[in-house]
Amino acid sequence: MDDLLQKLGEQLRFLRKEKGWSQDKLAELSGLHTNYIGQIERGEKNLTIETLYKVTTGLGISLEELFQSIDPKHRQTGLTKIVELLSQRPVEDQAMVLHLVQTILEWDDRKRK
């Protein structure tokens, strides 16, 4: 369990720093105390799901994204990442990407013949 808490804390710290945020900023966005964020990042606290949800919401990610980044067995494939990205875009953008992919695949098929 300690190994999981350590990995979880390290990943949360990485995601926070990737955004250029201080522990204070993440604490504010998560509704938690700054010292508690530090303890989480050091793997010193056994979090509840509710607290973990507050932190991931503060970071702007889902619990699923967090756990996928920690456990490589469940990392998203390129296709699932594309689907996730497109699901957040307008229908017009989705249609444009579909057309682009179809064009690329048709070009590739012709090239192989």
For tokens 């307008």, what's the residue? 90
Please give the single-letter amino acid code of residue 76. Answer: Q
C-alpha 56: how far from chain center: 9
Domain ranges of the chain: 2-74, 78-112
pLDDT digit string, tens, across residues 13-25: 999 999 999 999 9
Say how far apart CA 18 and CA 33 lie, in whole Å. Answer: 20
For tokens 């508690």, what's the residue? 36
Which of these, 8, 73, 75, lies nearest to 39 by C-alpha position?
8
Identify the pLDDT of residue 1: 61
Domain 2-74 has CATH 3.40.50.300: no
Query: pTM of the prediction?
Result: 0.63
Which residue numbers in the chain have pLDDT < 50?
A: none
